[in-house]
Amino acid sequence: MTGLVISHWMSRRFTVEFMGAWEYMYNSSFNVTEFSNIKNEAGSNGYVLSGKQWISKTNAIGIISKAGRYGGTYAHKDIAFEFASWISPEFKLYIIKEFQRLKDQEEKRQKLGWSAKRMLTKMNYRIHTDAIKKHIVPELISKKQATFIYANEADMLNVALFGLTAKEWENRNKNKKGNIRDYADVRQLVCLANLESLNAEFIRQDLSQTKRLQQLNEIAVVQMTSLLGNKNIKKLKKPNN
C-alpha cells in the first residue's frame, strides 16, 4: 500500500519537477535528458513512476529504493518533507510556521547585533564629545554655539568615513528618514566607533582638524578594507529599514 502511495505521489508533474530541481542542485551525474522525458509524461492519465524507475533512468541520488525483507523507499529529508507535506496539510502548515519562527529569530539576532554596534558608536561618541568640550570648545559661549563645533567635528568623521557631510547626504536622500549614520552597515559602524576614539586622542594631542581629517580618512580606508574581508563581521547584517 505504501509503495502505491509513493508511486502516485512521484507520478505527479510537480513532484517530478521538485525532485529534478533537487537533483540539479546536488547531483552532478543527474541524467537531464531522461529527466526531461519523464517530466513530459508526468501527470498524464495512466502514467506511473516508481522509485526504482526514477533512480535507474536519471541516476538520482535523492531517493534510495531497496528490495527484500528490510527494504523500502528512503529519501533525503528535503524530499521526505515534500512527500509528508503532500500527505498531510497539517505537516505542511507546521513546516511553514516553523520556518517563519526561525526567520523571526534570525531577524531578532541581526537586530540585536546591529543595535549593539550602534550603541557602541553612541558610547564612543560621548568620549569624542568630551574631548571636544575639553580641548576645542572655548569657555563662556552659548550652547547653540557649542553645538556648531560638535556638529563640525561629527561631520569631519562623516567625511573621513562616508566621503560627505550630513547635509550633503540629506540633500541626496530627501526621501529617507534619519541621518547618514542610521543607514550605515555594521562594518561602517565598527569603523566609526574606532574613528571617534582616535579623533578624541588626536584632539588631546592638539592636532589641527585638517591633519586629523587626513589621518582619519587614511585609517578608515585601511580599516574598511580589513573589515570587508572579516568573516565574523559578515555574519552581522544591518536589518532592513
Instruction: Tell me what percent of the residues of the chain surpass a pLDDT of 90.
Output: 15
Cross-strand pairs, 65: 73
- 156 and 64 in one domain? no
pLDDT given for residue 138 in this prediction = 45
Cross-strand pairs, 74: 64
Q: Report how far apart, in Å, the C-alpha atoms of 203 and of each of 110, 151, 172, 181 are.
A: 34, 15, 31, 22
How far apart, in whole angstroms, are the C-alpha atoms of residue 180 and residue 56?
59
Q: How many domains does the chain have?
A: 2
* Phi, psi of 238, deg, nearest 5: -70, 135
- 220 and 188 in one domain? yes
**Domain-embedded: residue 94:** no
- 66 and 120 in one domain? no
β-bridge pairing 63-66 and 72-75: antiparallel
**Domain-embedded: residue 165:** yes
pLDDT given for residue 47 in this prediction = 86
- 66 and 113 in one domain? no
Work out whether the CA dihedral 87, 91, 97, 100 comes out positive or negative.
negative
Quote the DSSP letter at residue 240: P
Q: Report how far apart, in Å, the C-alpha atoms of 115 and of each of 24, 29, 110, 230 are.
A: 40, 46, 8, 19
DSSP letter for each residue of 178-196: S-GGGG--HHHHHHHHHHH
pLDDT given for residue 2 in this prediction = 62
**Domain-embedded: residue 134:** yes
- 119 and 51 in one domain? no
- 113 and 226 in one domain? yes
Those residues whose C-beta lies under 8 Å from the C-beta of residue 47, and which sit 6 or more positions away, are 11, 41
Work out whether the CA dihedral 68, 73, 76, 81 comes out positive or negative.
negative
Task: Cell numbers for 176, please give them.
Answer: 529617507
**Domain-embedded: residue 161:** yes
How far apart, in whole angstroms, are the C-alpha atoms of residue 143 and residue 78?
63
Give percent helix, percent strand, percent coil of the chain, each to the nearest 5: 70, 5, 25
**Domain-embedded: residue 241:** no
Q: What is the pLDDT along the chain (241 residues), one digit of tens a residue?
A: 466 788 888 888 999 999 999 999 999 999 999 999 999 888 888 888 888 889 999 999 998 887 766 667 888 888 988 888 888 888 888 888 888 888 777 776 665 555 666 666 665 666 556 665 665 544 544 565 556 666 788 888 888 889 888 889 999 998 988 888 888 888 888 888 888 888 888 888 988 888 988 898 998 888 888 777 666 555 555 444 4
pLDDT given for residue 114 in this prediction = 58
- 212 and 121 in one domain? yes
Q: Report how far apart, in Å, the C-alpha atoms of 8 and of each of 12, 13, 49, 68 are.
A: 7, 11, 7, 21
Render pLDDT for 100-143 as a digit per residue (tens, 0 to 9). 888 777 776 665 555 666 666 665 666 556 665 665 544 544 56
**Domain-embedded: residue 206:** yes
- 219 and 114 in one domain? yes
pLDDT given for residue 134 in this prediction = 63
* pTM: predicted TM-score of the whole model, two decimal places: 0.43
Render pLDDT for 213-234 as a digit per residue (tens, 0 to 9). 889 899 888 888 877 766 655 5
**Domain-embedded: residue 198:** yes
Supply the range of the domain harboring residue 145: 104-234
